[in-house]
Amino acid sequence: MGFKCGIVGLPNVGKSTLFNALTETQAAQAANYPFCTIEPNIGNVAVPDARLDKLAAIAGSQKIIPTQLAFVDIAGLVRGASKGEGLGNQFLGNIREVDAIIHVLRCFEDDDIQHVENKVDPVADAETVETELLLSDLESLEKRVPAFAKKAAQGDKEAKAAASVLGQALDLLRDGKPARLTDPKDADEERILRQAQLLTSKPVLYVCNVEEANAATGNAHSEAVFARAKAEGAQAVIVSAAIESELVGMDGEERMMFLEEMGLHETGLARVIRAGYELLHLLTFFTVGPKEARAWTVHTGATAPEAAGEIHSDFQKGFIRAETIAYDDYVALGGEAKAREAGKLRAEGKAYIVHDGDVMHFLHS
């Protein structure tokens, strides 16, 4: 299952610098002028998970394969993007293809780096981008909802559901509120809302890009962003793109020493990944053996057959049962054999809901 997180924001807030650091590449050109990123760069990032290393050590696995998230570096939005300003239509189209939005906000002062609005105000920047996304959605729904309403009046059940849920979204947008506040009444409406690919229906994570000195504690700018996030039920994290850039190329020991000197306990990547997982309502399960230890990603609430399908579609079709061990039991007892002896290996059927950290082995026809 692939998940894409789109990195967005105004020009010169540190998007491409953060992208380069997260993917440990220089794929995105980081330059001090607007629109230096025209085509979206995509980088697959391994999700750091210390549990996977522990499982591999216990099982003597030859290979360790982490799960991944895809980050998409999308060119900077500017005021008027919904009307095509600054290549806006292209950028908005790129955002439409991602599962979640990582909104990078400039929370640092630096006279040497131009700000497109000539001021450092991350909350205003967030409002600028949100407004452009909202206007784009508003234009889209004002064309579609009347058409659905007309078909609904003729007895079309699908159109009736679409008119209901998208009409609700349209009312929110007209009030200046994002479509993610829409409340579908059933699974059909949820599907219709998802298929509409509304920009403001996507979950948002604010990334406060601060200077190195404030990486551990944040500053007044980041505090304002956290207050906004709390008010709208969103999430926010503090990252210093400059520090993340310095970490590129360091080995594990060097990284830990550098982070400790900066008063940090983990990389910005780890914080963004963890917040991204929460944002997308994801969890990790593991398959472990002598050949490989591997992490897999599923949505919270996924059943055992759906988890099996992440490995291979045939596993889901021919699912019989899942032999499951909780991560804590696997580690405490020292592996599968001892967990089985202790009665901690469970045979779960099709209705089983996967838990984060489950170590699973699937039996299928």
For the chain, the C-alpha Rg in angstroms (whole number) is 23
Distance from C-alpha of 300 to C-alpha of 310, rounded to nearest angstrom: 14
Q: Are residues 12 and 113 in the same domain?
A: yes
Give the end of a domain, one of 168, 200, 232.
Answer: 200
Q: Are residues 102 and 214 in the same domain?
A: yes
Distance from C-alpha of 317 to C-alpha of 179, rounded to nearest angstrom: 35
CATH number of the domain that 116 lies in? 3.40.50.300
Mean pLDDT (the chain, rounded): 86
Q: Are residues 94 and 135 in the same domain?
A: no
CATH number of the domain that 345 lies in? 3.10.20.30
pLDDT score of 161: 93
pLDDT score of 253: 85
What confidence category does residue 33 fall into, taking pLDDT thresholds of 50, 70 and 90?
very low
Q: Are residues 193 and 209 in the same domain?
A: no
Q: Are residues 115 and 135 in the same domain?
A: no
Q: How many residues does the chain have?
A: 365
Q: Which amino acid belongs to residue 273?
A: I
pLDDT digits (tens, 9 = 90+) for 122-140: 999 999 888 888 998 999 8
Q: What are phi and psi of 202, to 5 degrees?
A: -80, 140
Q: Are residues 230 and 115 in the same domain?
A: yes
Q: Flag whether 294 is in a domain.
A: no
Which has the higher per-residue pLDDT, 70 or 344?
344
Task: Please compute the mean of the pLDDT values over residues 23-50 and round it to a whole number.
Answer: 59
Q: Are residues 214 and 342 in the same domain?
A: no
Give the end of a domain, one of 166, 183, 200.
Answer: 200
Count of Cβ atoms closer than 10 Å to residue 26 Cβ:
12
What confidence category does residue 26 fall into, taking pLDDT thresholds of 50, 70 and 90?
very low
pLDDT score of 30: 44
Q: Which amino acid belongs to residue 113?
A: I
Are 303 and 354 contacting, i.e. CB atoms less than 8 angstroms apart?
yes
CATH number of the domain that 174 lies in? 1.10.150.300
Task: Please compute the mean of the pLDDT values over residues 267-296 and round it to a whole number.
Answer: 89
Task: Please compute the mean of the pLDDT values over residues 269-276 and round it to a whole number.
Answer: 81
pLDDT score of 206: 95
pLDDT score of 322: 97
Reply yes or no on whether the pLDDT at 314 is more than 70.
yes
Q: How many CA atoms lie within 13 A of 308 on its CB side?
A: 26
Reply yes or no on whether the pLDDT at 200 is more than 70.
yes
Q: Are residues 20 and 79 in the same domain?
A: yes
Q: Flag whether 53 is in a domain.
A: no
pLDDT score of 364: 95
Q: Flag whether 250 is in a domain.
A: yes
Give the end of a domain, one of 200, 225, 254.
Answer: 200
Q: Flag whether 155 is in a domain.
A: yes
Q: Are residues 249 and 114 in the same domain?
A: yes
The model carries a pTM of 0.79
Number of domains present in the structure of the chain:
3
Reply yes or no on whether the pLDDT at 32 is more than 50.
no
**Helix (H) or strand (E) segment spanning residue 319:** strand 319-325
pLDDT digits (tens, 9 = 90+) for 71-113: 888 866 655 544 544 444 566 777 888 889 999 999 988 776 6
Q: How many CA atoms lie within 13 A of 126 on its CB side?
A: 28
Distance from C-alpha of 102 to C-alpha of 297, rounded to nearest angstrom: 19
Q: Are residues 28 and 86 in the same domain?
A: yes
Domain of 172?
131-200
Q: Are residues 265 and 350 in the same domain?
A: no
Q: Flag whether 331 is in a domain.
A: yes
Select from 192, 339, 208, 210 the least CA-distant residue to 262: 210
Q: Flag whether 24 is in a domain.
A: yes
Q: Are residues 42 and 140 in the same domain?
A: no
Q: Flag whether 135 is in a domain.
A: yes
pLDDT digits (tens, 9 = 90+) for 315-331: 999 999 999 999 999 99
Task: Please compute the mean of the pLDDT values over residues 253-275 and round it to a whole number.
Answer: 85
What confidence category does residue 262 fall into, taking pLDDT thresholds of 50, 70 and 90?
confident
- Give DSSP secondary structure letters for 264-284: -SS-HHHHHHHHHHHHHTEEE
